[in-house]
Structure 1
Protein backbone atom coordinates (compact mmCIF):
# COMPACT_ATOMS: atom_id res chain seq x y z
CA UNK A 1 0.00 0.00 0.00
CA UNK A 2 1.28 3.42 -0.94
CA UNK A 3 0.34 6.96 -0.16
CA UNK A 4 2.48 8.58 -2.87
CA UNK A 5 0.30 10.58 -5.29
CA UNK A 6 0.90 10.34 -9.03
CA UNK A 7 1.81 13.33 -11.22
CA UNK A 8 -1.15 15.56 -12.09
CA UNK A 9 -2.73 14.40 -15.40
CA UNK A 10 -3.28 16.71 -18.37
CA UNK A 11 -6.47 18.75 -18.80
CA UNK A 12 -7.51 16.59 -21.77
CA UNK A 13 -7.01 13.36 -19.87
CA UNK A 14 -8.90 14.71 -16.87
CA UNK A 15 -11.76 15.72 -19.17
CA UNK A 16 -11.94 12.22 -20.64
CA UNK A 17 -11.90 10.69 -17.18
CA UNK A 18 -14.64 13.07 -16.06
CA UNK A 19 -16.86 12.04 -18.99
CA UNK A 20 -16.23 8.32 -18.44
CA UNK A 21 -16.98 8.77 -14.74
CA UNK A 22 -20.42 10.21 -15.38
CA UNK A 23 -21.24 7.60 -18.02
CA UNK A 24 -20.48 4.94 -15.42
CA UNK A 25 -22.54 6.70 -12.75
CA UNK A 26 -25.50 7.01 -15.10
CA UNK A 27 -25.34 3.30 -15.92
CA UNK A 28 -25.25 2.36 -12.25
CA UNK A 29 -28.20 4.63 -11.45
CA UNK A 30 -30.22 3.09 -14.27
CA UNK A 31 -29.38 -0.35 -12.92
CA UNK A 32 -31.11 0.59 -9.67
CA UNK A 33 -34.45 0.84 -11.44
CA UNK A 34 -36.57 -2.28 -11.15
CA UNK A 35 -40.18 -3.09 -10.27
CA UNK A 36 -39.63 -3.57 -6.50
CA UNK A 37 -37.62 -0.33 -6.31
CA UNK A 38 -40.07 1.56 -8.49
CA UNK A 39 -43.05 0.77 -6.25
CA UNK A 40 -41.14 1.61 -3.07
CA UNK A 41 -40.53 -1.84 -1.58
CA UNK A 42 -37.08 -2.49 -0.06
CA UNK A 43 -34.81 -4.28 -2.46
CA UNK A 44 -33.27 -7.35 -0.82
CA UNK A 45 -29.54 -7.85 -0.98
CA UNK A 46 -28.35 -10.82 -3.06
CA UNK A 47 -28.73 -14.09 -1.19
CA UNK A 48 -25.06 -14.91 -1.78
CA UNK A 49 -24.14 -11.89 0.34
CA UNK A 50 -25.70 -13.47 3.44
CA UNK A 51 -23.30 -16.40 3.51
CA UNK A 52 -19.60 -16.43 4.16
CA UNK A 53 -16.89 -17.23 6.65
CA UNK A 54 -17.96 -16.07 10.15
CA UNK A 55 -14.28 -15.72 11.06
CA UNK A 56 -13.88 -12.99 8.44
CA UNK A 57 -15.06 -9.45 9.19
CA UNK A 58 -18.62 -8.72 8.17
CA UNK A 59 -18.78 -5.84 5.68
CA UNK A 60 -21.46 -3.14 5.88
CA UNK A 61 -21.87 -1.13 2.68
CA UNK A 62 -22.46 2.60 3.14
CA UNK A 63 -23.20 4.47 -0.14
CA UNK A 64 -22.64 8.12 -1.00
CA UNK A 65 -25.11 10.95 -1.42
CA UNK A 66 -27.84 10.30 -4.01
CA UNK A 67 -26.76 6.67 -4.09
CA UNK A 68 -28.96 3.69 -3.30
CA UNK A 69 -27.05 0.78 -1.79
CA UNK A 70 -27.27 -1.04 -5.13
CA UNK A 71 -24.83 1.54 -6.50
CA UNK A 72 -22.15 -0.46 -4.64
CA UNK A 73 -23.25 -3.80 -6.10
CA UNK A 74 -19.94 -4.51 -7.93
CA UNK A 75 -17.97 -3.95 -4.74
CA UNK A 76 -20.39 -6.04 -2.68
CA UNK A 77 -20.13 -8.91 -5.14
CA UNK A 78 -16.32 -8.82 -4.90
CA UNK A 79 -16.48 -8.90 -1.09
CA UNK A 80 -18.92 -11.82 -1.10
CA UNK A 81 -16.79 -13.73 -3.60
CA UNK A 82 -13.83 -13.32 -1.23
CA UNK A 83 -15.82 -14.96 1.58
CA UNK A 84 -17.15 -11.94 3.47
CA UNK A 85 -20.74 -11.63 4.53
CA UNK A 86 -22.05 -8.36 3.11
CA UNK A 87 -24.80 -6.30 4.74
CA UNK A 88 -26.68 -3.25 3.56
CA UNK A 89 -28.45 -0.51 5.48
CA UNK A 90 -32.10 -0.34 4.44
CA UNK A 91 -34.14 2.78 4.93
CA UNK A 92 -31.56 5.33 3.80
CA UNK A 93 -33.17 5.94 0.41
CA UNK A 94 -30.62 7.81 -1.67
CA UNK A 95 -28.72 9.01 1.39
CA UNK A 96 -29.74 12.68 1.51
CA UNK A 97 -30.05 12.98 5.29
CA UNK A 98 -27.31 14.70 7.26
CA UNK A 99 -24.09 12.87 8.02
CA UNK A 100 -24.81 12.91 11.76
CA UNK A 101 -28.39 11.64 11.41
CA UNK A 102 -27.37 8.85 9.07
CA UNK A 103 -24.48 7.87 11.35
CA UNK A 104 -26.92 7.60 14.25
CA UNK A 105 -29.19 5.36 12.20
CA UNK A 106 -26.27 3.14 11.24
CA UNK A 107 -25.03 2.93 14.83
CA UNK A 108 -28.51 1.94 16.04
CA UNK A 109 -28.69 -0.77 13.38
CA UNK A 110 -25.30 -2.15 14.38
CA UNK A 111 -26.32 -2.11 18.03
CA UNK A 112 -29.37 -4.28 17.41
CA UNK A 113 -27.33 -7.46 16.96
CA UNK A 114 -24.13 -8.77 18.58
CA UNK A 115 -20.97 -8.40 16.56
CA UNK A 116 -19.88 -11.60 14.79
CA UNK A 117 -16.64 -13.36 15.84
CA UNK A 118 -14.73 -11.78 12.97
CA UNK A 119 -15.94 -8.29 13.79
CA UNK A 120 -17.38 -5.71 11.44
CA UNK A 121 -15.91 -3.30 8.92
CA UNK A 122 -17.67 -0.40 7.24
CA UNK A 123 -17.00 -0.26 3.49
CA UNK A 124 -18.09 3.10 2.17
CA UNK A 125 -18.11 5.40 -0.83
CA UNK A 126 -17.80 9.20 -0.76
CA UNK A 127 -20.25 10.61 1.83
CA UNK A 128 -20.49 7.10 3.23
CA UNK A 129 -16.89 7.42 4.41
CA UNK A 130 -17.78 10.54 6.40
CA UNK A 131 -20.75 8.70 7.90
CA UNK A 132 -18.45 5.81 8.76
CA UNK A 133 -15.91 8.04 10.48
CA UNK A 134 -18.74 9.69 12.43
CA UNK A 135 -19.83 6.24 13.66
CA UNK A 136 -16.28 5.53 14.84
CA UNK A 137 -16.37 8.60 17.10
CA UNK A 138 -19.82 8.62 18.78
CA UNK A 139 -19.68 11.23 21.56
CA UNK A 140 -15.92 10.84 21.58
CA UNK A 141 -16.25 7.27 22.81
CA UNK A 142 -13.88 5.84 20.22
CA UNK A 143 -10.23 6.82 20.29
CA UNK A 144 -7.06 5.18 19.10
CA UNK A 145 -6.57 3.99 22.69
CA UNK A 146 -10.00 2.35 23.03
CA UNK A 147 -9.50 -1.28 24.19
CA UNK A 148 -12.65 -2.50 22.44
CA UNK A 149 -13.88 -1.13 19.10
CA UNK A 150 -17.40 0.31 19.43
CA UNK A 151 -20.22 -1.88 18.05
CA UNK A 152 -17.66 -4.50 17.08
CA UNK A 153 -16.25 -2.20 14.39
CA UNK A 154 -12.67 -2.90 13.41
CA UNK A 155 -12.59 0.19 11.28
CA UNK A 156 -13.55 1.82 8.00
CA UNK A 157 -12.47 1.25 4.41
CA UNK A 158 -13.50 4.36 2.45
CA UNK A 159 -13.38 4.86 -1.30
CA UNK A 160 -13.22 8.39 -2.78
CA UNK A 161 -14.22 10.12 0.46
CA UNK A 162 -13.94 13.92 0.91
CA UNK A 163 -12.50 13.78 4.41
CA UNK A 164 -11.60 17.48 4.19
CA UNK A 165 -14.68 18.45 2.20
CA UNK A 166 -14.78 19.73 -1.37
CA UNK A 167 -14.57 23.35 -2.45
CA UNK A 168 -16.84 22.50 -5.38
CA UNK A 169 -19.75 22.04 -2.93
CA UNK A 170 -19.99 25.82 -2.67
CA UNK A 171 -21.26 25.91 -6.26
CA UNK A 172 -24.45 24.01 -5.40
CA UNK A 173 -27.73 25.14 -3.87
CA UNK A 174 -28.77 21.65 -2.75
CA UNK A 175 -28.11 21.35 1.03
CA UNK A 176 -27.21 17.68 0.55
CA UNK A 177 -24.22 18.74 -1.56
CA UNK A 178 -23.36 21.97 0.26
CA UNK A 179 -22.82 19.87 3.36
CA UNK A 180 -19.43 18.94 1.86
CA UNK A 181 -18.07 22.50 2.02
CA UNK A 182 -14.71 22.48 3.83
CA UNK A 183 -16.09 25.03 6.32
CA UNK A 184 -19.22 23.00 7.12
CA UNK A 185 -19.47 22.41 10.85
CA UNK A 186 -19.65 18.61 10.49
CA UNK A 187 -16.68 18.47 8.11
CA UNK A 188 -14.65 20.65 10.48
CA UNK A 189 -15.60 18.50 13.48
CA UNK A 190 -14.73 15.25 11.72
CA UNK A 191 -11.42 16.67 10.51
CA UNK A 192 -10.54 17.35 14.13
CA UNK A 193 -11.31 13.77 15.17
CA UNK A 194 -7.85 12.41 14.38
CA UNK A 195 -7.82 9.70 17.05
CA UNK A 196 -9.64 7.20 14.85
CA UNK A 197 -7.72 7.85 11.65
CA UNK A 198 -5.52 4.83 12.32
CA UNK A 199 -8.66 2.69 11.94
CA UNK A 200 -9.34 4.05 8.47
CA UNK A 201 -8.11 2.91 5.06
CA UNK A 202 -8.68 5.59 2.41
CA UNK A 203 -8.69 4.45 -1.22
CA UNK A 204 -8.71 6.80 -4.21
CA UNK A 205 -7.58 7.20 -7.81
CA UNK A 206 -5.11 9.68 -9.34
CA UNK A 207 -7.92 12.07 -10.27
CA UNK A 208 -11.33 12.67 -8.68
CA UNK A 209 -13.43 15.38 -10.38
CA UNK A 210 -15.56 15.81 -7.25
CA UNK A 211 -12.78 16.18 -4.70
CA UNK A 212 -10.04 18.63 -5.72
CA UNK A 213 -8.62 18.36 -2.20
CA UNK A 214 -8.17 14.62 -2.61
CA UNK A 215 -8.89 11.82 -0.13
CA UNK A 216 -5.55 11.54 1.66
CA UNK A 217 -6.15 11.39 5.41
CA UNK A 218 -3.31 11.97 7.89
CA UNK A 219 -2.81 9.00 10.17
CA UNK A 220 -4.82 6.65 7.97
CA UNK A 221 -3.58 4.08 5.47
CA UNK A 222 -3.83 5.89 2.12
CA UNK A 223 -3.96 3.76 -1.02
CA UNK A 224 -3.92 5.12 -4.56
CA UNK A 225 -5.27 2.76 -7.22
CA UNK A 226 -4.73 3.25 -10.98
CA UNK A 227 -8.41 3.94 -11.80
CA UNK A 228 -9.44 7.61 -11.87
CA UNK A 229 -12.90 8.99 -11.18
CA UNK A 230 -15.25 9.45 -8.27
CA UNK A 231 -17.68 6.71 -9.33
CA UNK A 232 -15.86 4.52 -11.85
CA UNK A 233 -13.20 3.72 -9.27
CA UNK A 234 -15.79 1.52 -7.53
CA UNK A 235 -15.81 -0.96 -10.41
CA UNK A 236 -12.05 -1.37 -10.70
CA UNK A 237 -10.58 -4.77 -9.75
CA UNK A 238 -7.64 -2.81 -8.29
CA UNK A 239 -10.07 -1.04 -5.95
CA UNK A 240 -11.66 -4.33 -4.97
CA UNK A 241 -8.24 -5.77 -4.13
CA UNK A 242 -7.34 -2.65 -2.15
CA UNK A 243 -10.60 -2.88 -0.18
CA UNK A 244 -9.98 -6.54 0.63
CA UNK A 245 -6.39 -5.79 1.64
CA UNK A 246 -7.67 -2.93 3.80
CA UNK A 247 -10.11 -5.18 5.61
CA UNK A 248 -7.36 -7.73 6.21
CA UNK A 249 -5.09 -5.03 7.60
CA UNK A 250 -7.76 -3.75 10.00
CA UNK A 251 -8.49 -7.29 11.19
CA UNK A 252 -4.80 -7.98 11.81
CA UNK A 253 -4.38 -4.76 13.74
CA UNK A 254 -7.29 -5.69 15.96
CA UNK A 255 -5.84 -9.15 16.56
CA UNK A 256 -2.52 -7.62 17.58
Structure 2
Protein backbone atom coordinates (compact mmCIF):
# COMPACT_ATOMS: atom_id res chain seq x y z
CA UNK A 1 0.00 0.00 0.00
CA UNK A 2 1.30 3.47 -0.88
CA UNK A 3 2.56 6.02 1.60
CA UNK A 4 0.26 8.78 2.93
CA UNK A 5 -0.56 11.35 0.28
CA UNK A 6 1.65 14.45 0.21
CA UNK A 7 -0.29 17.71 -0.08
CA UNK A 8 0.71 21.34 -0.40
CA UNK A 9 0.64 23.62 2.65
CA UNK A 10 -2.50 25.30 1.31
CA UNK A 11 -4.24 21.96 0.83
CA UNK A 12 -3.23 20.81 4.31
CA UNK A 13 -4.60 24.02 5.80
CA UNK A 14 -7.85 23.56 3.89
CA UNK A 15 -8.31 20.04 5.25
CA UNK A 16 -7.45 21.17 8.78
CA UNK A 17 -10.19 23.83 8.55
CA UNK A 18 -12.80 21.45 7.14
CA UNK A 19 -11.91 18.83 9.72
CA UNK A 20 -12.45 21.17 12.66
CA UNK A 21 -15.70 22.51 11.21
CA UNK A 22 -16.95 18.93 11.06
CA UNK A 23 -15.74 18.25 14.62
CA UNK A 24 -17.56 21.33 15.84
CA UNK A 25 -20.76 20.21 14.17
CA UNK A 26 -20.48 16.79 15.80
CA UNK A 27 -19.93 18.41 19.20
CA UNK A 28 -23.05 20.53 18.79
CA UNK A 29 -25.12 17.65 17.43
CA UNK A 30 -25.44 16.17 20.89
CA UNK A 31 -27.56 19.16 21.93
CA UNK A 32 -30.07 18.34 19.19
CA UNK A 33 -29.84 14.53 19.17
CA UNK A 34 -29.58 13.93 22.91
CA UNK A 35 -26.97 12.68 25.37
CA UNK A 36 -27.96 9.02 25.27
CA UNK A 37 -27.33 6.57 22.41
CA UNK A 38 -30.43 5.68 20.38
CA UNK A 39 -32.48 2.87 21.94
CA UNK A 40 -32.72 1.17 18.55
CA UNK A 41 -28.97 0.50 18.63
CA UNK A 42 -29.61 -2.21 21.24
CA UNK A 43 -31.70 -4.19 18.75
CA UNK A 44 -30.14 -6.33 16.05
CA UNK A 45 -29.37 -9.82 14.83
CA UNK A 46 -28.17 -12.18 17.55
CA UNK A 47 -26.07 -14.17 15.07
CA UNK A 48 -23.91 -11.09 14.51
CA UNK A 49 -21.31 -9.83 16.98
CA UNK A 50 -22.13 -6.92 19.23
CA UNK A 51 -20.26 -3.76 18.29
CA UNK A 52 -18.73 -1.55 20.99
CA UNK A 53 -17.98 2.06 20.05
CA UNK A 54 -14.89 3.67 21.58
CA UNK A 55 -14.21 7.35 20.77
CA UNK A 56 -10.85 9.12 20.79
CA UNK A 57 -9.32 11.72 23.06
CA UNK A 58 -11.60 14.65 23.99
CA UNK A 59 -14.42 12.96 22.07
CA UNK A 60 -17.94 12.16 23.21
CA UNK A 61 -19.59 8.97 21.91
CA UNK A 62 -21.68 11.15 19.56
CA UNK A 63 -18.60 11.61 17.35
CA UNK A 64 -19.16 8.00 16.30
CA UNK A 65 -22.92 8.31 15.84
CA UNK A 66 -22.74 8.16 12.00
CA UNK A 67 -20.79 4.90 12.29
CA UNK A 68 -23.19 3.55 14.91
CA UNK A 69 -26.18 4.30 12.70
CA UNK A 70 -24.54 2.55 9.73
CA UNK A 71 -23.65 -0.53 11.79
CA UNK A 72 -27.10 -0.76 13.36
CA UNK A 73 -28.70 -0.28 9.96
CA UNK A 74 -26.75 -3.33 8.81
CA UNK A 75 -28.20 -5.45 11.61
CA UNK A 76 -25.58 -5.07 14.36
CA UNK A 77 -26.36 -4.38 17.99
CA UNK A 78 -24.35 -1.31 18.91
CA UNK A 79 -23.32 -0.19 22.38
CA UNK A 80 -21.30 2.71 23.71
CA UNK A 81 -18.49 2.13 26.19
CA UNK A 82 -19.19 4.40 29.16
CA UNK A 83 -16.84 5.35 31.97
CA UNK A 84 -13.92 6.46 29.79
CA UNK A 85 -14.51 10.17 30.39
CA UNK A 86 -12.77 12.25 27.73
CA UNK A 87 -10.17 9.51 27.16
CA UNK A 88 -7.32 11.62 28.57
CA UNK A 89 -5.88 8.99 30.90
CA UNK A 90 -2.88 6.88 29.96
CA UNK A 91 -3.44 4.18 27.39
CA UNK A 92 -2.69 1.28 29.75
CA UNK A 93 -4.90 2.66 32.53
CA UNK A 94 -7.74 3.34 30.12
CA UNK A 95 -7.44 -0.17 28.69
CA UNK A 96 -7.95 -1.59 32.18
CA UNK A 97 -11.02 0.62 32.64
CA UNK A 98 -12.27 -0.52 29.26
CA UNK A 99 -11.89 -4.17 30.24
CA UNK A 100 -13.80 -3.64 33.48
CA UNK A 101 -16.55 -1.76 31.67
CA UNK A 102 -16.96 -4.54 29.10
CA UNK A 103 -17.06 -7.23 31.78
CA UNK A 104 -20.11 -5.66 33.41
CA UNK A 105 -22.25 -7.41 30.81
CA UNK A 106 -21.89 -11.05 29.71
CA UNK A 107 -20.48 -11.44 26.22
CA UNK A 108 -23.06 -12.42 23.60
CA UNK A 109 -22.68 -15.83 21.95
CA UNK A 110 -21.62 -14.19 18.68
CA UNK A 111 -18.84 -12.25 20.43
CA UNK A 112 -17.92 -8.59 20.26
CA UNK A 113 -15.97 -6.26 18.00
CA UNK A 114 -14.64 -2.89 19.10
CA UNK A 115 -14.96 -0.06 16.57
CA UNK A 116 -12.74 2.79 17.73
CA UNK A 117 -11.52 6.16 16.55
CA UNK A 118 -8.04 7.62 16.93
CA UNK A 119 -6.64 7.07 20.45
CA UNK A 120 -9.55 4.72 21.10
CA UNK A 121 -7.89 2.28 18.73
CA UNK A 122 -4.67 2.36 20.79
CA UNK A 123 -6.62 1.68 23.97
CA UNK A 124 -8.42 -1.24 22.34
CA UNK A 125 -5.16 -2.69 21.01
CA UNK A 126 -3.69 -2.45 24.51
CA UNK A 127 -6.64 -4.50 25.78
CA UNK A 128 -5.97 -7.15 23.13
CA UNK A 129 -2.27 -7.14 23.99
CA UNK A 130 -3.02 -7.67 27.68
CA UNK A 131 -3.75 -11.28 26.79
CA UNK A 132 -7.11 -11.31 28.55
CA UNK A 133 -8.82 -12.34 25.33
CA UNK A 134 -7.33 -14.99 23.10
CA UNK A 135 -10.64 -15.58 21.33
CA UNK A 136 -14.36 -14.81 21.46
CA UNK A 137 -14.78 -17.14 24.43
CA UNK A 138 -12.46 -15.02 26.59
CA UNK A 139 -13.75 -12.84 29.41
CA UNK A 140 -14.52 -9.94 27.08
CA UNK A 141 -15.66 -11.98 24.10
CA UNK A 142 -13.56 -9.86 21.74
CA UNK A 143 -13.12 -11.00 18.16
CA UNK A 144 -10.96 -8.01 17.35
CA UNK A 145 -10.77 -4.32 16.58
CA UNK A 146 -11.72 -2.06 13.69
CA UNK A 147 -9.74 1.15 14.20
CA UNK A 148 -10.47 4.32 12.24
CA UNK A 149 -7.72 6.95 11.89
CA UNK A 150 -5.62 5.48 14.72
CA UNK A 151 -1.98 6.60 15.21
CA UNK A 152 -0.52 3.13 15.73
CA UNK A 153 3.00 4.54 15.34
CA UNK A 154 2.14 7.74 17.19
CA UNK A 155 1.86 11.18 15.65
CA UNK A 156 4.59 13.79 15.29
CA UNK A 157 1.86 16.45 15.39
CA UNK A 158 1.42 15.73 19.12
CA UNK A 159 4.52 17.84 19.80
CA UNK A 160 2.48 20.94 18.95
CA UNK A 161 0.13 20.40 21.90
CA UNK A 162 1.19 21.09 25.51
CA UNK A 163 -1.43 18.79 27.05
CA UNK A 164 0.49 15.74 28.40
CA UNK A 165 -2.38 13.44 27.39
CA UNK A 166 -1.85 14.45 23.76
CA UNK A 167 1.95 14.49 23.91
CA UNK A 168 1.74 10.87 25.10
CA UNK A 169 0.91 10.08 21.46
CA UNK A 170 4.38 11.10 20.24
CA UNK A 171 6.15 8.32 18.29
CA UNK A 172 8.89 8.24 20.95
CA UNK A 173 6.50 7.66 23.87
CA UNK A 174 7.29 4.40 25.67
CA UNK A 175 3.73 3.07 25.47
CA UNK A 176 3.51 3.85 21.75
CA UNK A 177 6.83 2.08 21.14
CA UNK A 178 5.77 -1.00 23.15
CA UNK A 179 2.41 -1.18 21.39
CA UNK A 180 4.19 -0.94 18.06
CA UNK A 181 6.35 -3.93 18.96
CA UNK A 182 3.32 -5.96 20.08
CA UNK A 183 2.53 -7.33 16.66
CA UNK A 184 1.02 -10.65 17.80
CA UNK A 185 -2.50 -9.16 17.88
CA UNK A 186 -2.26 -7.23 14.61
CA UNK A 187 -4.00 -9.98 12.68
CA UNK A 188 -7.10 -9.24 14.78
CA UNK A 189 -7.06 -5.57 13.80
CA UNK A 190 -8.53 -3.80 10.77
CA UNK A 191 -7.08 -0.32 10.27
CA UNK A 192 -9.24 2.08 8.26
CA UNK A 193 -7.75 5.41 7.19
CA UNK A 194 -8.08 8.09 4.54
CA UNK A 195 -5.96 9.69 1.85
CA UNK A 196 -4.71 12.42 4.17
CA UNK A 197 -5.07 12.83 7.92
CA UNK A 198 -3.92 16.22 9.26
CA UNK A 199 -3.53 14.77 12.76
CA UNK A 200 -1.63 11.67 11.62
CA UNK A 201 0.40 12.83 8.60
CA UNK A 202 2.48 9.63 8.60
CA UNK A 203 -0.62 7.46 8.26
CA UNK A 204 -2.25 4.58 10.12
CA UNK A 205 -0.78 1.65 8.23
CA UNK A 206 -0.31 -1.30 10.61
CA UNK A 207 1.91 -4.19 9.54
CA UNK A 208 0.20 -7.57 9.90
CA UNK A 209 -3.27 -6.03 10.11
CA UNK A 210 -5.92 -5.67 7.42
CA UNK A 211 -5.39 -2.14 6.10
CA UNK A 212 -8.19 -0.37 4.24
CA UNK A 213 -7.63 3.06 2.71
CA UNK A 214 -10.77 5.03 1.86
CA UNK A 215 -10.96 7.92 -0.65
CA UNK A 216 -11.65 10.48 2.08
CA UNK A 217 -9.45 13.05 3.82
CA UNK A 218 -9.57 14.30 7.39
CA UNK A 219 -9.24 12.94 10.91
CA UNK A 220 -12.83 13.65 11.97
CA UNK A 221 -14.64 13.98 8.63
CA UNK A 222 -13.71 10.42 7.79
CA UNK A 223 -16.22 9.25 10.44
CA UNK A 224 -19.16 10.61 8.47
CA UNK A 225 -18.20 9.26 5.04
CA UNK A 226 -20.21 6.45 3.45
CA UNK A 227 -16.94 4.98 2.15
CA UNK A 228 -15.70 4.69 5.73
CA UNK A 229 -18.94 3.05 6.84
CA UNK A 230 -18.55 0.43 4.11
CA UNK A 231 -14.94 -0.19 5.09
CA UNK A 232 -15.89 -0.61 8.76
CA UNK A 233 -18.66 -3.05 7.83
CA UNK A 234 -16.13 -4.97 5.77
CA UNK A 235 -13.72 -4.99 8.71
CA UNK A 236 -16.31 -6.29 11.17
CA UNK A 237 -17.30 -9.00 8.70
CA UNK A 238 -13.67 -10.11 8.34
CA UNK A 239 -13.20 -10.33 12.11
CA UNK A 240 -16.40 -12.35 12.35
CA UNK A 241 -15.02 -14.84 9.84
CA UNK A 242 -17.35 -13.80 7.04
CA UNK A 243 -16.37 -12.73 3.57
CA UNK A 244 -16.79 -8.99 2.97
CA UNK A 245 -19.33 -9.94 0.28
CA UNK A 246 -21.41 -11.68 2.97
CA UNK A 247 -22.04 -8.49 4.93
CA UNK A 248 -25.51 -8.43 6.50
CA UNK A 249 -26.34 -5.05 5.02
CA UNK A 250 -24.93 -1.77 3.82
CA UNK A 251 -25.16 1.78 5.07
CA UNK A 252 -28.05 3.83 3.82
Same fold (TM over 0.5): yes
- CA offsets per residue over residues 65-99 of structure 1, 9 Å max, x none? 00011111111111111110001112222221221
Give the secondary-structure state (helix, strand or coil) at the position aligned to 2:240: helix
- Is 12-21 or 22-31 further displaced after alignment? 12-21
Contact preservation (8 Å) 1:8, 1:206 = no
Shift of 1:113: 2.4
Pick the aligned partner of 2:205 from 192, 213, 216.
Answer: 216
Q: Deviations over 1:40-61 (max 9, x none)?
A: xxx3210110100011111000
- Show CA shifts across 1:165-184 (max 9, x none): 01111222101111101111
TM alignment of 1:104-253, pairs within 5 A: 104-138=96-130, 140-141=131-132, 151-252=140-241
C-alpha distance in 1, partners of 2:197/2:229?
17
State how 1:46-85 maps to structure 2 within 5 Å: 46-85=38-77
For residues 49 and 133 of structure 2, the distance between their equivalents in structure 1, rounded to whole angstroms, comes to 19
For structure 1, the residue ranges without an aligned partner over 5 or more in a row are 37-42
Aligned pair count?
243
Instruction: Determine if contact 2:119/2:150 at 8 Å carries over to the other structure.
Output: yes
User: Would the aligned equivalents of 1:142 and 1:196 in 2 still touch at CA under 8 Å?
Assistant: no
C-alpha deviation, 1:229, in angstroms: 0.4
> 1:136 Cα deviation (Å)?
0.5
TM-fit CA distance, 1:14: 2.7
Q: 1:176 to 1:6 in 2, by over 3 A?
A: closer
Cα distance between partner residues in 1 of 2:179 and 2:125: 7
1:10-89 mapped onto 2 (5 Å cutoff): 10-33=8-31, 43-89=35-81
RMSD between superposed Cα atoms in Å: 2.1
- 1:115–1:151 CA contact under 8 A, matched in 2: yes
Is the 2:23–2:221 Cα contact (8 Å) retained in structure 1? Answer: yes
CA contact (8 A) 1:122 1:132 kept: yes
More displaced 10-residue stretch of structure 1: 106-115 or 191-200: 106-115
After superposition, what is the alpha-carbon deviation per residue over 1:236-255, rounded to whole angstroms, capped at 9, x for unaligned? Answer: 000000000000001017xx
Match of 1:39 in 2: none
The reply on whether 1:96 has 2:88 as its aligned counterpart is: yes
Q: CA deviation at 1:4?
A: 4.0
Q: Once the two structures are superposed, what CA deviation does each residue of 1:11-61 show, in whole Å capped at 9, x if it has no partner?
A: 33333222111110111112234697xxxxxx3210110100011111000
